[in-house]
Structure 1
Amino acid sequence: MPTIRILPLTLFISLIPSVAMAQDEVIVVTRQVQESRYPVAVMPFADAGRITDNLTLAGLGATAQNLPQNTTNATDIVNNLSTWRNQGFRQVVLVQTHTMPANKLAISYQLVDTTTGSVGAKQTQVSENNSTALAASYAQISDKIYQSITGKPSDLVGKIAFVEETGLPSNKTSMLKLVDMSGKNLATLDTVNGSIMTPSFSPDGRYIAYSVQSKNALPVIYVRSLDNNQVQMVTPFWGHNLAPSFSPDGGSLIFSGSHEANNPNIYRLNLAANSLEKLTSLSGAENSPSYLPDGTGFVYTADHGTRSQSLQKYDFATGKSTQLVARGSNPRVSADGSKIIYTAAGRIIIVNQQGKTLQSFAVAGTETAASFSPSGSRIVYAVNQGNQSQLMIRSLSNNAVQTLPTTGVVRDPVWSK
């Protein structure tokens, strides 16, 4: 287990997730939450707990309890600003809901700044009136509130995909699972007798590509729609087809393929035209490509015929690669393209695009990959030590850790943008 820094507020929550695609086990979330710089009051209403939980998870101290007023009128707050400030609240969130035809719910909200007395414009979001849709809507609303207060996006609307394995290595079952940052809404997307590897989201978060190696077969890549759960196999090529990564426009995949002379190279597959282009041809194996968000190139690993992998950066304009790091594996790029995360010798390391180390920390046990959150302020990674396997979410600003235990061996977590 990695060292966990215990912060002022510790919450232990047992959650029975609402699952859209498949019913799954209870997932237990342990959160260490830093004391907030932005104390937020959410005026009580039926679903106030959804917003307070979301904002607290995102890093803001939010509550709907023991407030100095109970009102839906922003003017009442403005006329009593000193009372709110004296109790430590810097922002007050007012929310109203009303039902609409066709089983929909309109959710209106606005912010009052107790320091300046300014009142934000009222915003309204319409949601399907069911648990899954409301959870997504309140996450989106909470994200907008977070952005209004901090000026930065939160990680509340992204999803985390990961692989969970059970059984013996010779006869294992692999499941591709999806969960949100809170550990709620756990769903199983696919189950195979064999291996699922290296899932990757499309830039819009609507599709997920991943490799499947069924028993006694070679791995192929599938693309699955998260809108309707339809799936298509896109690499009918002999050999190993691994580590897909979507282009910024979602129209292409790069991946590692070994169908030429059994030598893994990086290929680009145009999904609409079904055309294939070979991009690298170094000696040895090239693996784990990850697109740069601006589309100018990608990072990947190359072993040059040895067992030591280096991190390389490929430039589409020149068709050439340059070495970033002498030793490392499983690189992933942040959503803004400014940082690259990889693993090496039991450490998770973050570098800039020039390969300069920005952060590095040891991880106990074995891990296969790490991934940035949409905001780039957190990472998710897997820890497997003995009989314990966990998903870890770590804040890069204060090392606060959120733990999502699982029932099997966890691999290849990735966070949607």
Structure 2
Amino acid sequence: YEVIDIKSGRVIEGKQSLTADNNKESMRYAGHVIADKVYELITGIPGDFSGRIAYIEEIGTGKEKISRLKVMDADGENAKTITEVAGSIFSPTWSPDGNRIAYSVQRDKSYPVIYVQSVSGGGATPLTPFPGSNLSPSFSPDGSKILFSSSFEGSADIYEMSASGGTPRRITNWPSSEVQPNYAPDGKSFVFVSDRAGFNKPRIYRYEFGSGRTTQVSSSGYATSPQFSSDGSQIAFLSGRSAAIMNSGGAVTANLGNTGIDEAPSFSPNGKRVVYASKQGGKGVLTIKSLNGGESFGKSGQGTIRSPVWSASPK
């Protein structure tokens, strides 16, 4: 393939080639990778067509609930079930290389446990067999560590541990609840949620590894579920019951409104689009929305859809 500037007739970067296996899935993937390259050649910004989206599909309620962790292409095609459990799956997150997903599972009458699983198949490895609520894993930028929240030593605090397991290190130790950590892309800090300001007044804070300093990021109101964009300049979060985006200084830059599901949006790899779950006409819907043009498209599924999260484009 080649990209030609029509006005000048100049071929941008000459001919490019990409090989793929001769099957439908590989050819589709090659198409997405080429679209990424073409987009970058024209705009100078990496494309986000070859990243994948993980999400949870829930069917039934109470003891009858079945939850599936699914992965699909960024255009809504090729949906596959990675794992299925009797119970609930929470907060899936991708490893930086797009090969693994960490998530929490809560079965009937048991604590939530964080698992790590290869997207290409195989069993899930339990990471946090601790007697407490183990939730909201976040991979470090190099994929070697995981931040998570747990209440196994009392109130919920943020811990860091090796992504292959082992003994966790407690980072926060306030009397309030600290949850939902998310590493900054440079790995030097992370954002998290605390109710130290008062009951039902969650705020987003940033912890710096070097100094151990904590600062408040969100300005006021009810702010939860922070997630950085890949360049660290934006944070997607839940503002009250609305999906919203703020800059790294805490100023709200976009409000996507009430989606009917109290969850934050997730950025695409280049930060130009977001994906979020909503309910429309009793059906679960995944919506992908452009942040500059406002264009969006949706994909509906069975039951309730939750927690879509976009992987980085494979390197």
Give SS of 2:175's match: coil
> How far did residue 356 of structure 1 move?
1.5
Mapped pair 1:407 → 2:287: no
Runs of 4 or more above 6 Å deviation: none
Distance 1:150 1:229 in 2: 39
Q: Which of the numbers 209, 214, 227 marks the counterpart of 2:102? A: 209
Asked if 1:239 corresponds to 2:100, the answer is no
For the Cα contact (< 8 Å) 1:165–1:175, is it kept in 2?
yes
SS at 1:129 equivalent:
coil
Cα distance in 2 for residues equivalent to 1:216 and 1:159: 33
Alpha-carbon distance, 1:361 to partner: 3.2
SS in 2 for 1:135: helix
- CA separation in 1, counterparts of 2:35 and 2:191? 34
Alpha carbons 1:284, 1:306 under 8 Å: kept: no
Q: Note if contact 1:199-1:208 (Cα within 8 Å) is conserved in structure 2.
A: yes
Alignment correspondent of 2:43: 150
CA–CA distance in structure 1, aligned partners of residues 14 and 34 of structure 2: 14
Corresponding position of 2:234? 339
Alignment of 1:35-114 (within 5 A): 109-114=1-6
CA distance in 2, matches of 1:273, 1:182: 34
CA contact (8 A) 1:328 1:344 kept: yes
Match of 1:127 in 2: 20
1:362 has 2:254 as partner: no
Query: Paired residue for 1:169?
Result: 62
CA-CA distance at 1:368 after TM superposition: 1.9
The number of residue pairs the alignment matches comes to 308
The Cα shift of 1:244 comes to: 0.1
Q: CA deviation at 1:399?
A: 1.2
CA contact (8 A) 1:256 1:288 kept: yes
Whether the 8 Å CA contact 2:127–2:165 is kept in 1: the answer is no
The structure with the largest alpha-carbon Rg is 1
CA gap 1:221/1:196 in 2 versus in 1, 3 angstroms: same
CA deviation after TM superposition for structure 1 residue 369, in Å: 2.5
Which residue is 2:152 aligned to? 259
> In structure 1, what is the equivalent of residue 269 of structure 2?
374
Is the partner of 2:42 in helix, strand or coil? helix
- State the match for 1:394 in structure 2: 289
Deviation for aligned residue 1:386: 5.9
1:17-56 per-residue CA deviation (whole Å, 9 max, x = no partner) reads xxxxxxxxxxxxxxxxxxxxxxxxxxxxxxxxxxxxxxxx
Deviations 1:213-238 (CA, angstroms, capped at 9, x unpaired): 11221110111112344421111111
CA distance in 1, matches of 2:106, 2:3: 50
Q: Aligned equivalents of 2:79 and 2:134: distance in 1?
A: 28
- Mean CA deviation greater in 138-147 or 357-366: 357-366
Q: Which residue does the alignment assign to 1:221?
A: 114
Q: How far does residue 291 in structure 1 lie from its aligned partner after superposition?
A: 0.5
Q: 1:145 offset after TM fit, Å?
A: 1.2
Unaligned runs of 5+ in 1: 1-108
For residue 211 of structure 1, what is the amino acid of its counterpart? S
How far did 1:375 drift?
0.9
User: How far apart are the structure 1 equivalents of 2:16 and 2:237?
Assistant: 40
Q: CA RMSD in A?
A: 1.5
Q: Is the contact between residue 195 and residue 212 of structure 1 (CA under 8 Å) also seen in structure 2? A: yes
SS in 1 for 2:17: strand
Secondary structure of the 1:149 match is helix
Q: Residue 286 of structure 1 aligns with which residue?
A: 178
Are 1:320 and 2:213 matched, yes or no? yes
Q: Deviations over 1:341-388 (max 9, x none)?
A: 101222222111111222223224223231011110111111125622
1:53-75 CA-to-partner distances (Å, cap 9, x unmatched) read xxxxxxxxxxxxxxxxxxxxxxx
Structure-2 residue corresponding to 1:270: 162
TM-score (normalizing by structure 2): 0.94
Q: Which amino acid aligns with 1:328?
A: A
**Could you tell me how far apart the structure 1 residues matched to 2:33 and 2:280 are?**
35
1-structure distance, mates of 2:82, 2:264? 20
Contact 2:243-2:259 within 8 A present in 1 as well: no
